């Protein structure tokens, strides 16, 4: 199998070992966070707990998101001028609210993102001063990309807490988040780095093909961001599990890249409830999962493979008050998709694509992707 950026299989025949390893590493991350933020987590939890469960896990995840994105993008944020930043944020807002304008807006975003946002992969940005002014610049840059909508909401919530602190304490907390991210980057490469070994090759050799495309930032995400999403997905699955178990109906959302045949040859049919598999090819995993769903009483819907699994949510015709969702996505969409479903109040779990291969972003021809069915059965208690 050709590995574009990541593969959960590593050197194995399946991804069973990955799920075991990421669970162990997530435990380490949560434990180490207690050391880095010994006197900070409880006050954040108290600030958060008015509105959400699992505030401790979310607080740690928010701090990790802040540290990683600061390390990767704060240098780029310092170089974004006000006028192009405002234009990019406007384009992203219009794009999110008007499907008909997306093609034209994406054309403009591709040009402007490459010129004004496309990060220098070799920047040394560890020395950017940890202060609230630079925090604001980072958030503004993330908004301008249009790729971090849910992460921005979490960071803005964290910022509201930090604003309650004394100036020195605020700087210390941001600095601790950056230090935590540095530890995370090194430790993640040791613990789950075998699954992302091709990311650097992709960034250096293949990513330039995405210049002038609207996904230039999305496809340029660093290796540490893959690891952040892997661990973030594991943490969110744990946090969401209780609510997911309680609902009566389950629905599996599959990206279109899992189909064996391209859209022009796939016989799946569009319905009010979403795109439904027509069961035409025995070798297609979408067909196999649809069959499993009919046997084990869960629904299966194909959704467009956009920037996140949540972008194609069909609406009330699919989601009821007693429905839980299992979202399937490639690694870079996991945190944003999971947070979006949480925002919608949908009890959710996620299963990662074992590797990426969609034609929209990663592969010129597109190649069928797949998931670990054993992991899916574990989530559904089959």
Q: What is the pLDDT of residues 278-315, one digit of tens each?
A: 888 888 999 999 999 999 999 999 987 453 344 444 44
**32-66 confidence digits (pLDDT tens):** 998 999 889 989 988 887 656 677 888 999 999 99
pLDDT of residue 311: 41
pLDDT for the residue 56: 87
Q: Within 10 Å of residue 27's Cβ, how many Cβ atoms?
A: 12
pLDDT band at 271 (very low <50, low <70, confident <90, very high): confident
CA distance 163 to 37: 17
Where does the pLDDT of residue 192 fall: very low under 50, low under 70, confident under 90, or very high at 90 and above? very high
Per-residue pLDDT at 253: 94
> What pLDDT does residue 270 have?
83
Calpha distance 217→118 (Å, rounded): 6
| Token pair for 214 | 């609207």
User: Maximum Cα–Cα distance for the chain, whole Å?
Assistant: 63
Given a cut of 70, whether residue 81 has pLDDT beyond it is yes
Confidence at residue 17, expressed as pLDDT on a 0 to 100 scale? 97
Tens-place pLDDT, residues 119-134: 665 554 556 899 999 9
Give CA 15 to chain center in angstroms.
19
- What is the rounded average pLDDT for all residues in the chain? 88
Secondary structure element (H or E) that encloses residue 323, with its range: strand 323-329
| pLDDT of 122 | 53
Q: What tokens appear for 133 in the block?
A: 């002014």
Tokens of 7: 């593969």
Which band of pLDDT confidence, cut at 50, 70 and 90, is reported for residue 202?
very high
197, 240 Cβ separation under 8 angstroms: no
Once rounded to an integer, what is the mean pLDDT over residues 92-111?
84
For the whole model, what pTM was predicted? 0.93
Instruction: Give 48's contacts (C-beta < 8 A, 6+ positions apart).
Output: 55, 58, 59, 157, 161
Q: What is the pLDDT of residue 210?
A: 87
Question: Which of the two residues, 98 and 310, has the higher pLDDT score?
Answer: 98
Q: What is the pLDDT of residue 332?
A: 95
Task: Tell me: pLDDT of 15 over 70.
Answer: yes
- Average pLDDT for residues 338-364, to the nearest whole number? 90
Q: What's the rounded mean pLDDT across residues 146-172?
A: 94
**Percentage of residues in the chain with pLDDT exceeding 70?**
92
Task: Tell me the pLDDT band of 185, cut-offs 50, 70 and 90.
Answer: very high
Q: What is the mean pLDDT of residues 329-347?
A: 91
Helix, strand or coil, per DSSP, at residue 10 = coil
């Amino acid at each position: 199998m050709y590995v574009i950026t990541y593969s959960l299989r590593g050197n194995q025949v399946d991804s069973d070992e990955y799920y075991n390893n990421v669970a162990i590493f997530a435990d380490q991350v949560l434990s180490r966070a207690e050391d880095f933020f010994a006197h900070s987590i409880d006050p954040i939890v108290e600030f958060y707990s008015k509105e959400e469960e699992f505030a401790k896990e979310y607080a740690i995840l928010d701090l990790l998101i802040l540290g990683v994105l600061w390390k990767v993008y704060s240098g780029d944020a310092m170089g974004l001028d006000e006028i192009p930043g405002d234009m990019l944020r406007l384009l992203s807002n219009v794009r999110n609210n008007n499907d008909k304008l997306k093609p034209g807006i994406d054309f403009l975003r591709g040009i402007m993102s490459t010129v004004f946002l496309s990060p220098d992969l070799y920047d040394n940005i560890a020395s950017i001063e940890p202060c609230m002014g630079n925090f604001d610049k980072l958030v503004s840059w993330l908004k301008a990309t249009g790729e971090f909508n849910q992460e921005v909401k979490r960071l803005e919530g964290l910022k509201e807490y930090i604003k309650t602190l004394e100036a020195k304490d605020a700087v210390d907390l941001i600095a601790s988040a950056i230090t935590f991210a540095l530890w995370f980057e090194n430790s993640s490469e040791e613990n789950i780095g075998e699954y992302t070994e091709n990311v650097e090759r992709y960034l250096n050799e293949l990513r330039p093909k995405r210049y002038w495309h609207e996904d230039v930032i999305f496809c340029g995400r660093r290796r540490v961001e893959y690891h952040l999403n892997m661990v973030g997905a594991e943490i969110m699955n744990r946090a969401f599990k209780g609510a997911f178990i309680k609902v009566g109906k389950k629905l599996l959302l599959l990206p279109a890249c899992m189909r064996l045949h391209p859209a022009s040859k796939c016989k799946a049919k569009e319905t009010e409830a979403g795109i439904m598999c027509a069961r035409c090819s025995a070798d297609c995993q979408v067909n196999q999962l649809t069959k499993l769903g009919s046997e084990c009483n869960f629904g299966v819907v194909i959704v467009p493979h956009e920037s996140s699994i949540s972008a194609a949510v069909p609406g009330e015709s699919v989601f009821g008050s007693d429905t839980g969702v299992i979202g399937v996505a490639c690694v870079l969409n996991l945190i944003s998709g999971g947070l979006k479903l949480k925002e919608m109040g949908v009890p959710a779990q996620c299963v990662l694509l074992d590797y990426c291969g969609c034609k929209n972003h990663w592969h010129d021809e597109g190649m069928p992707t797949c998931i670990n069915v054993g992991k899916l059965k574990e989530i559904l208690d089959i």
